[in-house]
Structure 1
Amino acid sequence: MNKHLFLFLLFFSLSFCAQTYCVPQFSDGCDDGDQIDSFSIPSVSFNHVNTGCSLNAYGDFTTQIINLNAGVNYNFSMTHGFSEQNVKIWIDFNNDGVFTDAAPELVASGISTTVNNQDITDGILNIPATVAAGTYRMRIADQYDLMPTPCNIGDFGEVHDYTVVIAAAPTCLAPSNLNLSSITASSAVVSWVASLSSPSSGYEYYLSTNPVTPASSALATGSTNSLNASLALAPSTTYYIWVRSVCNAAGKSAWSASSSFTSLCAAITPFYSNSFTVFPGDCWQQASGGNLASGSTGNNIYWLEDGFLNVNYTGAARINLFDQNRVGWLKSPAFNLSAGNYRVKFNYGLTSFNQPTASAMGSDDIIQFAISNDGGVTWTALQTWTAANAPSNTSNQFSLNLTSYNSANTVFAFYGSDGTVVDPEDYDFFIDDFTVESIGSLATAQNFKENDKIVVYPNPFVNVLNIKNSDEVESAVITDFNVRVIKRFEKFSSELNVSELSSGIYLLNLKLKNGSQQTHKIIRK
């Protein structure tokens, strides 16, 4: 019996090796980057990297063995040296020396995308459950702009051949359709769909901040007998998760395709300030569509970084509204206001598009500053601007005591819509220096009445800055954002001559007579 088995395997092996396969001939080759730089199947730990352009655009790598199972789908990844690559993968399942350009021997196809300046094709190898266990030849090909065929004779591209050893289908298969829900800063729920061969011993899942598929021997993060699991998370972290079936005490399926998600930021307990020098800031989010009643409906980006009131190019957030049907949201991180006695404030203004001059708003345009007590599910407008009360093109400050808002999951949003009417107005709305702070601590530090608060104007300025209620001020210093001193005013007055400053953004630091300090962002036109 052993002798017969040996002779059979020898005959099979000689038959496989004796097959003569066509050698592709890419007339333009792969020297210009139309190549297979790397090919990997992470779940079986196969990585063939830095291969470059093969001689005559064909690489015979059949000495490299890839071990797969019948009835299992495998994620693969291929990198290239140029964009717009089309990929196909074949396996000669009947060992007749011919790759059939259709299923079942056509096991994968895809088109490259560019991610972080790297041209990548990601896809799934579909190994039929009906394939007999055995040794086969795999061919992978890429071609510029056109889908390759097994025996290409023209254009740009490259082909690699490998050997695959197919084992019998596992006792049970991996689950599919991983879904993440109820994502918070500290937890989430993952669920999935069972395969047709439901396991008898439940499931294992693997949670990681590394996108590399775990090896079959990897220690699972947790296990469950149901079709879902609760996950413990760290705030503001991107995770990757895989699930596999535990067939029985002796066997497990391959890991499923991965799913990735990012946990939410932890709620911030103020003091908090965002000057938008880094845009949009940690844990700020953009959205589009909808209104305050419905919430956002899309993820287009309309808020951008720009210079406040179109002076310079950075340091503020702005939305450009024109024409119609343009709706953008800029949402803050969550705040824990449960201690009470907070206020929110920010600077804002409106100018013509890309200019510091004044502009009207469109007839049905609307800009709103809103608050949510439930993390962004429902919204309430705190301030609304329309054509009837359009902001000026100077720096205005919005300030509101939040004494009636004490949620531990408070989110703010800036909402802008140019409505459905096609209006000629084309303008930019700006926000800057968004701050949430305690009213109590401010009152103690400032020690003067709200009606007597210090106001710096005009802002932006040309040659002179005026200080309202300057009798509260002892001295002033102007610095840049690196806190380098630009000018000191030891003898302080209500009118500061700053004509020697170059155009740009500065910080005006005021030392008050009560010992406290204030800092104002100022803009020289």
Structure 2
Amino acid sequence: MKGKRLFGLVNLCALFYAPMVFAQYYHPVAVSGFTQDVIANGIGNASSSTTASVDAVDYAYVSKDFQTTATSPALTYGLPVSGQFMSVVGTTPGLTYQLASYNSSNALKLNAVADSGTLTFNTPTAAFNLYFLATGGSGSGVVSAVVNFTDGTNQTFTSLSVGDWYDQANFAIQGIGRIKITTNALEDGGGTNPRIYQIPLAISSANQSKTVQSITFSKTSGTGFVNIFGVSANRFTTCLAPTAVTASAVTVSSATLGWTAPATVPTNYDIYYTSSTVAPNGSTSPTVSGVTGLTTNITSGISPMTKYHVWIRSNCGGSVGEWAYGTTFTTPCSTFTVPYTENFDTTSAGSTSNTNAPMCWSYLETSGFTGYGYVVNSNSNSPTNSYYLYNSSASTGNQLLVSPQTTALSDGTKRVRFYAKGSTNYTLQVGTLTNPSDPSTFVSFNTTTITGTHTQYTVNIPSGGGSYLAFRHNLGGTYRAIYLDDITVESMPSCLEATALATSGVTANSATLSWTAPINVPANGYEYAYTTTNSAPTGSGTANAGTSVTISLPSPSTTYYLWVRSKCTTTDLSAWTGIAVTTKAINDECSAPTIITPGGSFATNPVIGTTVGASSTTDATATHSCQNTGYNDTWYSVVVPASGNISIETQSVSGSSVSDTVLGVYSGSCGSLTQIGCDDDSSSDGNFSLVTLTGQTPGATLLIGVWNYSSSTSGQFKVSAYDASLLSTSDVVAAKKEGKVYPNPFSDIINISEFKDVKTVKVTDVAGRTLKTIENPTKEISLGSLNPGLYLITMYFKDGSQNTVKAIKK
């Protein structure tokens, strides 16, 4: 079977650029003349480390060292802290830029047409070509550039397009993120935007030997704000360097370099190689010097799994030429030994057009497979990256994430622990490969059923398999996404971990943790602990003999991580395994609620209580649940009357419209509430929720939670409580007269029950606007003129009562 193996940062073989016909002497140029600081950096508000935004709406670039506060998470994206990076434009391999300090002006900013500015070279430089680094904010712009030489002449370039910082071509760097200066909100880090672009200035042959003094830029058209960040040069030299530099016979500790001599053969050559992207300059010492032939073997300082950049220059009988960028190569991976871990956080995000994997790992698929596999900056178990397997329309074939070659992986003493998520009942296979380039050599030894949240799985690796571990998307349906994170390959411990951790009985200050004992039950029980970060405890825990424990937690509305480990002997303990839990908000259970005094009669005192605003936050999980789990809630307390019978109801305030209220009634004390009543307004007992309870303890205090879980409505509701045993006869009659509508949802026609008793029907939208009024209705009402959506249908009965129900038009 033919397969495709794509390597993270190029794996197991060297990476070669196509030979270059002419040597390229790329070097960043130090310049002055920047006018604004548009790069947020360091610790503090973005507004304190910038003087202007890149665009018209307060967004700036961000350095990788930016933090709002000293405790803010470190960024995994951003412009390099050093300000130095190598361009990714394929036609200029090795071209390096150096940005100005992030603590001072670092951009020449041209906002309006006719704005201009000059970047002056600190050291005048002769060049075959110049390149400048720029971007457009809030749109693209067009500039002209005048290259000024020290002899007083110049060369003019016109119609130079500077693309908007999103989605344009010829970018030198991308995925560096941006920040809203006014709010510190970060956006788009680690992906393909925003970008900075590389724009060439080809110096004419007549001017190449002249030294450049400065470049004057002018904005000539376009709506975008032009930002110019730096200049690099392909320096002019008469002592030409060799061309067609190659790297061959690359091993974990050596490589052979070869090249083609220039037309005028020099006395000898100097070579400089480094894993850094910083280009050498005239004062840089060669790694290898005085090479007289056209090849040389390099061994000093070469390490496995490392990418090296090579520069070369000629010595021309007493004069030394410029360093020319030669090539790059990557040393192969050595065979891994356990334990090792991969969390994907140090690998740049890939894409559908750039499938990738971490160094020494690989993405492998059957030829023609329609899905993708790459690192993503989302859906991680631990910040910030995870690995994404998506099968798209593929229903057959192989799609795998493959590990490095591992020593004695399948000797029966190894295991793998990993986190995975997808959707409920998606499956993932774990197995081994004998050939990392051939998906047909995959043999599965485990099929794991995953859920919609990241869960840790532990799989023992049986003996007799291959030396490459692989995770295979088990398909089972099209368009299924699976995420992997925090993979650890290790030897099986003598003391095994607890599994299937779960939480229950969560209150504002406690939670119950339970687990399943391992196959070999630990002789000395377990230890448990909690932390406030997703990091295992570093010290001892509290002993516990059984497989569950209630843990006291300090604060409400706080996420804690609960941990347990097996204790086989006093010194032989398993690794910690953990699960997250969030304690309930204090107002879920025992804040000071508004007190409602029950009225004696619903008819004579229909609304007793406080007017409250409807929440504007959607929480659809409240539907039918009435649970006290931290929705945007309002709480009340009520004392049960002497009869022991009580009704609690929500009602619309006159002139407003609210839908989707949920009512939950609880008894008990703070931290141990028990739900005794629940209703939401989809029931047929009125416009809003109604709970009637009988046989309650007179004088007992009940806690009432009210939620509005729809963001599509606004307005107010009131809460009433009354003694259900004191309803008048008219109240009882009115309560029985419900007036139902069907079908619901409906298309064009809706039917009304009890229509002979109905005097008027009024149809309103959720904003309270009356759309249709029907006097003396028949059983069928035509509502075909209404748009699809939610409507309130109010029936006014001949006895003076009324009832409102919700109906949905399809």
- Which range, TM-score by smaller chain? 0.5 to 0.7
Which of 308, 311, 320 in structure 2 is aligned with 1:242? 311
2:532 corresponds to 1:478: no
1:413 counterpart SS class? strand
Q: CA deviation at 1:459?
A: 3.8
Q: 1:121 to 1:403 in 2, by over 3 A?
A: same
Partner of 2:416: 346
The 8 Å contact of residues 85 and 112 in structure 1, kept in 2 or not, is answered as no
Q: CA deviation at 1:467?
A: 1.9
Q: CA deviation at 1:234?
A: 3.1
Q: CA deviation at 1:174?
A: 2.9
Q: CA deviation at 1:89?
A: 4.8
Which amino acid letter does the alignment assign opposite residue 496 of structure 1?
S
Q: Give distance in 1, aligned partners of 2:214 and 2:123.
A: 10
Partner of 2:432: 370
The 8 Å contact of residues 507 and 519 in structure 1, kept in 2 or not, is answered as no
Which of 365, 375, 381 in structure 2 is aligned with 1:290? 365
1:399 counterpart SS class? strand
Q: CA deviation at 1:254?
A: 2.0
1:517 counterpart SS class? coil
> Relative to structure 2, which stretch is displaced further, 277-286 or 477-486?
277-286
Partner of 1:253: 321
2:217 counterpart SS class? strand
2:471 corresponds to 1:414: yes
Partner of 1:66: 124
Q: Deviations over 1:145-177 (max 9, x none)?
A: 85xxxxxxx9855899x9x9x98x614x23456
Q: 1:92 to 1:250 in 2, by over 3 A?
A: same
Partner of 2:380: 306
Q: 1:252 to 1:240 in 2, by over 3 A?
A: same
Partner of 2:574: 518
2:235 corresponds to 1:174: no
1:414 counterpart SS class? strand
2:286 corresponds to 1:220: yes
Partner of 1:508: 564
2:549 corresponds to 1:497: yes
Q: CA deviation at 1:496?
A: 2.6
TM-score, with length taken from structure 1: 0.59
Q: Deviations over 1:389-412 (max 9, x none)?
A: 66365865321244676xxxx543
Partner of 1:434: 488
Which of 374, 383, 387 in structure 1 is aligned with 2:444? 383
Q: 1:507 to 1:274 in 2, by over 3 A?
A: farther
Q: Give distance in 2, aligned partners of 1:320 and 1:378.
A: 18
Q: Give distance in 2, aligned partners of 1:174 and 1:180.
A: 17
Q: 1:331 to 1:40 in 2, by over 3 A?
A: closer
The 8 Å contact of residues 208 and 240 in structure 1, kept in 2 or not, is answered as yes
Q: 1:483 to 1:200 in 2, by over 3 A?
A: same
Which of 482, 488, 496 in structure 1 is aligned with 2:542? 488
Which amino acid letter does the alignment assign opposite residue 254 of structure 2?
S
Q: Which has the higher helix share?
A: 1
Q: CA deviation at 1:474?
A: 0.9
Which of 447, 458, 465 in structure 1 is aligned with 2:515? 465
- Give the 5 Å matches for 1:158-237: 170-171=238-239, 173-176=240-243, 178=245, 184-192=251-259, 195=262, 197=263, 199-223=265-289, 224=291, 225-226=293-294, 229-232=297-300, 233-237=302-306
Partner of 1:399: 460
> Relative to structure 2, which stretch is displaced further, 201-210 or 184-193?
184-193
- Give the 5 Å matches for 1:89-100: 89-91=145-147, 99=156
Q: Specify every segment of 5 or more residues in structure 1 that has no aligned partner in the other structure, as ranges.
A: 1-29, 104-108, 147-153, 308-312, 447-453
Q: Give distance in 2, aligned partners of 1:110 and 1:236.
A: 29
Which amino acid letter does the alignment assign opposite residue 306 of structure 1?
S
The 8 Å contact of residues 39 and 79 in structure 1, kept in 2 or not, is answered as no
2:341 corresponds to 1:274: yes
Q: Give distance in 2, aligned partners of 1:178 and 1:266.
A: 26
Q: 1:436 to 1:43 in 2, by over 3 A?
A: closer
Q: CA deviation at 1:482?
A: 4.4
Q: 1:48 to 1:177 in 2, by over 3 A?
A: farther
Q: Give distance in 2, aligned partners of 1:346 and 1:234.
A: 27
Q: Give distance in 2, aligned partners of 1:315 and 1:48.
A: 29
The 8 Å contact of residues 112 and 122 in structure 1, kept in 2 or not, is answered as yes
Q: Specify every segment of 5 or more residues in structure 2 that has no aligned partner in the other structure, as ranges.
A: 1-50, 56-60, 62-82, 87-93, 161-168, 179-194, 349-356, 505-511, 582-810
Q: Give distance in 2, aligned partners of 1:79 and 1:236.
A: 33
Q: Give distance in 1, aligned partners of 2:266 and 2:281.
A: 22
The 8 Å contact of residues 174 and 196 in structure 2, kept in 1 or not, is answered as yes
Partner of 1:17: none
Q: Give distance in 1, aligned partners of 2:85 and 2:392.
A: 48
The 8 Å contact of residues 370 and 415 in structure 1, kept in 2 or not, is answered as no
Q: Give distance in 2, aligned partners of 1:518 and 1:113.
A: 45
2:213 corresponds to 1:141: no
Q: Give distance in 1, aligned partners of 2:126 and 2:378.
A: 48
Q: Give distance in 1, aligned partners of 2:121 and 2:347.
A: 51
Q: CA deviation at 1:113?
A: 4.7
1:215 counterpart SS class? coil
Q: Give distance in 2, aligned partners of 1:279 and 1:192.
A: 34
Q: Give distance in 2, aligned partners of 1:315 and 1:475.
A: 35
Q: CA deviation at 1:477?
A: 0.7
Q: Deviations over 1:57-112 (max 9, x none)?
A: 4445679652316xx456x4546795866676554799777736499xxxxx9766
Q: Deviations over 1:266-323 (max 9, x none)?
A: 54433x15384967899656654533x999998743696534xxxxx76995645454
Q: Give distance in 2, aligned partners of 1:102 and 1:477.
A: 70
Q: 1:487 to 1:404 in 2, by over 3 A?
A: closer
1:207 counterpart SS class? strand
Q: 1:79 to 1:264 in 2, by over 3 A?
A: farther
The 8 Å contact of residues 368 and 414 in structure 1, kept in 2 or not, is answered as yes
Q: Give distance in 2, aligned partners of 1:66 and 1:135.
A: 5
Q: Give distance in 2, aligned partners of 1:175 and 1:370.
A: 46
Q: 1:159 to 1:412 in 2, by over 3 A?
A: closer
> Relative to structure 2, which stretch is displaced further, 236-245 or 47-56?
47-56
Partner of 2:27: none
Q: Give distance in 1, aligned partners of 2:457 and 2:408.
A: 25
Q: Which has the larger radius of gyration?
A: 2
RMSD of aligned Cα (Å): 5.7
The 8 Å contact of residues 311 and 327 in structure 2, kept in 1 or not, is answered as yes
Q: Percent identity?
A: 13
Q: Give distance in 2, aligned partners of 1:91 and 1:330.
A: 51
Q: Give distance in 2, aligned partners of 1:322 and 1:198.
A: 56
Q: 1:193 to 1:332 in 2, by over 3 A?
A: farther
Q: CA deviation at 1:466?
A: 3.3
